Amino acid sequence: MRRQSVQVAHASAGEDVLCFTTAELDVTANLDPLHLTIADSTGHVLLDDVPVCPVTFTGSSFRVWKASPPDEHYYGLGDKPGRLDRRGRVFRMWNTDDLGWSESSDLLYKSIPFLIGLRDGRAWGMLLDNTWRSVFDFDVSVPDTFSFGAEGGPLDFYVLAGPDPKAVLGRYVTLTGPAPLPPLWALGFHESRYSYPSQARVLEVAAEHRMRGIPLDAIWLDIGFQDRNRPFTVDTGEFPDLSSMTRRLDETGIRTVAITDLHIAHQPGVGYRPYDTGRAGDHFLRNGDGSLFIGESWPGPSVFPDFAQARTRAWWGGLYRDFYLRHGIAGFWNDMNEPSVRDGPGKTMPLDVQHRVQEPGQPGRTVPHAEIHNAYGQQNIRATHEGLLRLDADRRPFVLTRASFAGGHRYAATWIGDNASTWQDLRLSVPQLLNLGLSGFTLSGGDVGGFLGSPSADLLTRWVQLGAFTPFFRNHTSLGTADQEAWAHGPDHEAIRRRAIEARYRLLPYLYTLAEEASRAGTPMMRPMMLEFPAAGLETEESQFMLGGALLVAPWPDETLEPYPLRLPSGTAWYDYWTGRRLDASDDISLEKRLDHLPVFVRAGSIVPHQPLVQSTAQVPDGPLLLHVYPGPDCSGTIYQDDGVSFAYRQGGFLRQQFTCVTEGGGFRLRFGPCEGGWEPWWREIEVLLHGADKPARRIEVKGESLDRASFDEVRGVTRFCIDADAAGGEVRIETR
């Protein structure tokens, strides 16, 4: 955790009272009796202790008790299923491999003890900086009381000021560090299953995508590609030439991602290098009596790296050399890192297994697994991420993790684990992904189609449509399930799924711009309604979400064909994303269900960049950049681009451009801000699509000269024209009367 200093504007102390004021917070601590009150700079109380006994201690554990006003809403806590608003439930933090989890499940793969409180449009955040097993109770044990505590470790928590949820997230990222800018290909469509049985089948799936014209950026290899499930090995019988396979895939613009679980097969004396080098370097965990800890996992008896040691993390990172540099694997998947141990208590290792915390420049100490457990997966992905950077310092690593702790978003993307092929799991994925985004994991997704079981044709189609508008878009399924590629279930479903995937690829300039914003400000790509509209009374709305600040996605809440309501913030106009039709905000809009249609809307005042269709992000778009302009208040948009692979953007190798559109009595002024950075864009022209018009433009003027090339779509109300990219450095005037 990054320690941050606080600028104190004023501090005072009386006999029983301590007070200090920052630019954003006013803190008062009464010492006898103990009572802590934290207010914002306007005097609005954000966090207040309960009147009696605000802190209790029992042995090494503690519990803190805070007042919970009836209209307070709570969000975050990462990987927890159920409602978006956490109020009315108890949550425990203990990373657990829970195969077949459900809406009422609690212990899942990640422990992120960070939450956001929201009341009357004012927000605050709190991070419990404690890795022990902890608990958060929202009004269950004691009415109108929110409590949190841990079984051990320090009573150390941060309170983060708002005033709105975005500001809270910005402070959380300042504290923990931002998520990195991912490689562009990570935002494409990914195909996976447990497991593709052979090299031939992988190449067949890739060729089928290209033959059918269904865009694809990555194919994933689950544990089946390994020799007897041993990490960092290859089954050369079924995958006789891994390097040749990845080269052939690369030639078609498809990357390869491979799983590398953290359990190392306990196989001495057989030439298994990860075990031999790990044992020689004393990198494996030990029991309390000093013996090697051995637990059951995919390869059978396994040993586990002690990631609390910096030297062990360096050793682990070095294991990727052949896969990354020789075999051409583009990204890595760290699974089973809760850690999952089949024969251990609670499906993990005993709490007295010993970890040696050793960091350069700090005194070493030996601690039990009870303290490290929740952070074990985080240190695993840290070792992977840092190891890949050492192997290739100018290539952005891509790592996916199942387990993590607060701050783990610095090292990896994530997904919601082993979901099921049910309509309920499809519905649950939305609030779960939203709370992961509010917990720092801006690049997250769910297994499209569900991992456990085989989805019906309709369910898979709807899941593909929804997945196309989530940050991480991977189709994945388990052993023994039916084929789940986009062409399963016949040509009608294939056509709908293809259109959804194509829509994502056309939207990539917008998505990549959101990813870059997330890497700077911590604002998630996929956002709950309350994040964009904190004062609009949509705090509990979880059946719809925002993708960035411009797009509202309203997926189907169930499998029925009954119409369902759309809740839009009052005072804001919207456009239908697919048709361009303008509609006014209303609380009683009813959406009709059609299998071939996912309702998506655009906020008036948005400018959304698109690109021509490509089959992968490795393909340079052929044609103009498309700017969809939706007039409205404060109309603006941004595009960010770079090479999508390296860190050259840190030295100015990027492009960022702002756009604004001002409505005038007789038309519009579309303004192009100066291009920041030194990256040369792929487009030479910009095609503008101005939505919401009821008649053709009388005149379009670019830098004082009339533009003759323009068209008008009367059905959609779209004025369309093209300008040279170099000519777009100033202003375009569109006269409508």
Complete DSSP assignment for 659-670: EEEEEETTEEEE
CB under 8 Å to 70, separation ≥6 — which residues?
A: 144
Token digits of residue 52: 């009696």
Which among 85, 98, 338, 516 is annotated as catalytic?
A: 338
Residue 359 among the catalytic residues: no
**Is pLDDT of 184 > 60?**
yes
For residue 493, give the H/E element and its range: helix 491-506
Query: 151: part of which helix (H) or strand (E)?
Result: none
Query: pLDDT tier at 141 (50, 70, 90 boundaries)?
Result: very high
- What CA dihedral angle connects 248, 252, 254 and 256, to 10 degrees? 0
Which pTM was predicted? 0.97
CA-to-CA separations, 688 to 358, 549, 625, 631, 685, in angstroms, rounded: 57, 20, 8, 12, 10
Phi and psi at 552, nearest 5°, equal -110, 125
pLDDT, tens digit, 9 for 90 and up, residues 514-568 = 999 999 999 999 999 999 999 988 898 999 999 999 999 999 888 888 899 998 8
Measured CA to CA, the distance from residue 313 to residue 318 in angstroms comes to: 9
Per DSSP, helices labelled H in 213-340 are 242-251, 273-280, 310-318, 321
Res 207 pLDDT > 60: yes
Helix (H, G, I), strand (E, B) or coil at 589: strand
Active site residue 335: yes
Q: Residues 479-500: pLDDT tens digits?
A: 999 999 999 999 999 999 999 9
Q: What is the pLDDT of residues 39-74, one digit of tens each?
A: 999 999 999 999 988 999 999 999 999 999 999 999
Residue-wise pLDDT for 280-303, tens only, equals 999 999 999 999 999 999 999 999
Percentage of the chain beyond pLDDT 90 is 88
What integer pLDDT is reported at residue 614 of this predicted model?
98
Question: What percent of the chain stands above pLDDT 70?
Answer: 97
pLDDT classification of 444: cutoffs 50, 70, 90: very high
Query: Which candidate in 79, 335, 532, 542 is catalytic?
Result: 335
* CATH tag for 188-261+313-335+376-521 (out of 3.90.1410.10, 3.40.630.30, 3.20.20.80, 3.40.50.300): 3.20.20.80
pLDDT given at position 3: 46
pLDDT surpassing 80 at residue 15: no
Residues forming CATH 3.20.20.80 domain(s) in the chain: 188-261+313-335+376-521
Average pLDDT taken over every residue of the chain = 95
Q: Which helix (H) or strand (E) holds 100?
A: none
Is the sign of the CA dihedral 228, 231, 234, 239 positive or negative? Answer: positive
CA distances for 316 relative to 260, 290, 309, 367, angstroms: 11, 22, 11, 21
Residue 2: is its pLDDT beyond 70? no
| Structural contact between residues 245 and 202, judged by C-beta atoms closer than 8 angstroms | yes
Q: How confident is the model at residue 1 (pLDDT cuts 50, 70, 90)?
A: very low
Rounded average pLDDT over 126-144: 97
What DSSP string runs through 173-217?
A: HHHH-PPPPPPGGGGSEEE--TT---HHHHHHHHHHHHHHT----
CA distance 395 to 16: 56
Of 305, 297, 515, residue with least CA distance to 413? 515
Q: How far apart are CA 221 and CA 515, in angstroms?
A: 25
pLDDT tier at 728, thresholds 50, 70, 90: low
| pLDDT band for position 6 (cuts 50, 70, 90) | low
Question: Which segments of the chain belong to CATH 2.60.40.1180?
Answer: 623-735
- Largest CA-CA distance found in the chain, in angstroms, rounded: 86
Which of 151, 191, 418, 541 is labelled catalytic? 418
Portions of the chain given CATH number 2.60.40.1760: 10-176
- Looking at residue 736, its pLDDT comes to 84
Q: Is 425 a catalytic residue?
A: no
User: Over 80: is that where the pLDDT of 588 sits?
Assistant: no
Binning pLDDT at 50, 70 and 90, where does residue 609 land? very high
Residue 246 scores a pLDDT above 60: yes
The architecture (CATH level 2) of 10-176 comes to Sandwich (2.60)
Q: 388 φ, ψ to 5°?
A: -65, -35
Fold classification of 623-735 is Immunoglobulin-like (2.60.40)
pLDDT for 147 equals: 98
Res 585 pLDDT > 90: no
